[in-house]
């Protein structure tokens, strides 16, 4: 007779931490708007994200700092020349990303 054991389940919160939410949003926003990965930025480090959150920096301001520092150009707006468009991320962009990722209520 063979006895099988079932692994014990560990309760896991379905709610993401603020750092995890930022990671998801940054991954989406950087890829969609600037054709970058999170690993291309200092935000690949959870500590950097945590420091920004603790300092009260908004996600929009954090990304726009990168835009200014590295002169990033948005790639998501078709039909515009590089000179015609603003590179900045807006709160609406973040809101749309939250909606698309399903993190709007968090």
Kindly give the parts of the chain with pLDDT less than 50. 4-12
Determine the Cα–Cα distance for residues 8 and 36; give it in Å rounded to an integer.
40
5 in any annotated domain:
no
Sign of CA dihedral 49, 55, 59, 62: negative
Within a domain: residue 1?
no
Q: Let me know if residue 4 belongs to a domain.
A: no
Count how many domains the chain has.
1
Is 60 part of a structural domain of the chain?
A: yes
Distance (Å) of CA 51 to CA 3, 28, 45, 46, 68: 49, 20, 10, 9, 20
* 79 falls within a domain: yes
CA distance linking residue 84 with residue 66, whole number of Å = 20
pLDDT for 7 equals 46
pLDDT at 77: 75
Residue 55 lies in a domain: yes
Q: What's the confidence (pLDDT) of residue 66?
A: 97
Tokens (6 digits) for 72: 């990033």
Q: Is residue 13 part of a domain?
A: no
pTM of the shown model:
0.79
């Amino acid at each position: 007779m063979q006895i099988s054991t079932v692994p014990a389940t560990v309760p896991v919160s379905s709610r993401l931490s603020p750092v995890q939410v930022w990671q998801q949003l940054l991954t989406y926003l950087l890829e969609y708007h600037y054709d970058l990965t999170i690993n291309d930025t200092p935000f690949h480090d959870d500590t950097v994200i945590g420091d920004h959150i603790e300092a009260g920096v908004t996600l929009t301001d954090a990304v726009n700092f990168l835009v200014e520092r590295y002169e990033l150009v948005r790639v998501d707006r078709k039909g515009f020349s590089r000179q015609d468009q603003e590179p900045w991320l807006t709160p609406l962009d973040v809101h749309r990303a939250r909606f698309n990722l399903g993190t709007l209520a968090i």
